[in-house]
Amino acid sequence: MMVYTLKRLLLMLPTLFGVLLLTFVVVQFVPGGPVEQYLAEAKAGAGVGAEGGISYRGAQGVDPKRLEQAKALYGFDKPAPERFWQMLTQFARFDLGTSFFQNRKVSELIWEKLPVSMSLGLWTFFLSYGIAVPLGIAKAVRAGSRFDLVTSIVVLVGFAIPGFVLGVALLVVFGGQLQWFPLRGLVSANWESLSWGAKVTDYLWHIAMPVAAMVMSSFATIAMLTKNSFLEEIRKQYVLTARAKGLPERKVLWKHVMRNALIPIVTGFPAAFIGAFFTGSLLIETQFSLDGLGLLSYESVIRRDYPVVLGTLYLFTLIGLVTKLVSDLCYAWVDPRVTFD
């Protein structure tokens, strides 16, 4: 196990390098970079003459000296290999750089946006697993019954509706027509002045609709996966043997079947739980005016804020590789029959 873990840790280095190299190369050929945006703003702000017309000096374009200063400001006065190596050395020290347009550390921006995305992700994680797993077990035990049929229809209909479409419906019905829930924000404007209990109530009041919009797709997937996993285990020979020995059905289900059936569910916990902290849903955050990681990533791509793009990519890729390793190791921890030799 230690050898396998060490190999996987070593393989993370070329994987990270490849992801960063590919993204860095693509970034070099994407038009509309920071320098180009600076030139466009400078040309647009040519200036107005004394008689209301465009002044001749502004119409001439950008001063070459100012252009060189802009390139130096954004680091584009250096060759691409040198800039890539400088980025790698910074990332090795976990220095994610500074935003071009906000003039703030990328790590500070991520830390500032993290509570919003973490709120959405954690509530989605706990509700998805807390409701879907018991529902999947109940569907497997009652396979073929009316309960199984009705819940399957409800789950599949919910899965077929995209989260952002459900979010629009919730905003129109419950936020607009009925006015039961607020239309935007994570808390009210007077949140700081509220009591402790009122703060919790206000927070849950605001988070209800965006979480409901995000839960549906993951909820359906986990419920059907749990059901199919239980059905597969129930039909195996060891279950028939346990029943033939006269063991109660409840004991067969909870002591023997559950231990094996929940293996694919339990092994996905680490990745899902860690991902809940850093999951940003762009459409949901935009619909409900939530300033989270999804909106930060989108705005950084649109504005060509390369330090934010590459810094967040590096951090999320590293977290994804580590959680994938932890998930694989959980297989051996949960099921002793699994080895990596």
> What's the confidence (pLDDT) of residue 54?
41
**Are 152 and 63 within one domain?**
no
Q: Which stretch of 35-39, 116-120, 137-141, 228-232 has the lowest confidence by average pLDDT?
A: 35-39
Domain hosting 13: range is 2-78
Q: Is the pLDDT score of 341 beyond 70?
A: no
Q: Are residues 204 and 326 in the same domain?
A: yes
Write the pLDDT tens digit of every residue in 282-317.
Answer: 778 877 878 888 778 888 888 788 888 888 888 888
Residue 56 inside a domain? The answer is: yes
Whether residue 324 is found in the same domain as residue 226: yes
pLDDT > 70 fraction of the chain, expressed in percent and rounded: 81
Q: Quickly count: other Cβ atoms within 10 Å of residue 97's Cβ.
A: 20
The dihedral sign for the CA sequence 326, 328, 332, 333: positive
Cα distances from 188 to residues 109, 116, 183, 191, in angstroms, run 22, 14, 11, 5
- At 56 the pLDDT is 37
Q: How far apart are CA 207 and CA 192, in angstroms?
A: 17
Q: Is residue 83 part of a domain?
A: no
Same structural domain for residues 197 and 322?
A: yes
Question: Do 28 and 165 belong together in one domain?
Answer: no
Q: Are 166 and 216 in contact (CB under 8 A)?
A: yes
pTM: 0.70
Range of 20-29, 247-256, 322-331 with top mean pLDDT: 20-29
83: helix, strand or coil:
helix
Whole-number average pLDDT of the chain: 78
Indicate if 200 and 313 belong to the same structural domain.
Answer: yes
- The model's pLDDT over 184-227, given as tens digits with 9 standing for 90+, comes to 777 777 877 888 888 888 888 888 888 888 887 677 778 888 88
- CB atoms under 10 Å from CB of 62, counted, come to 15
Q: How many domains are there within the chain?
A: 2
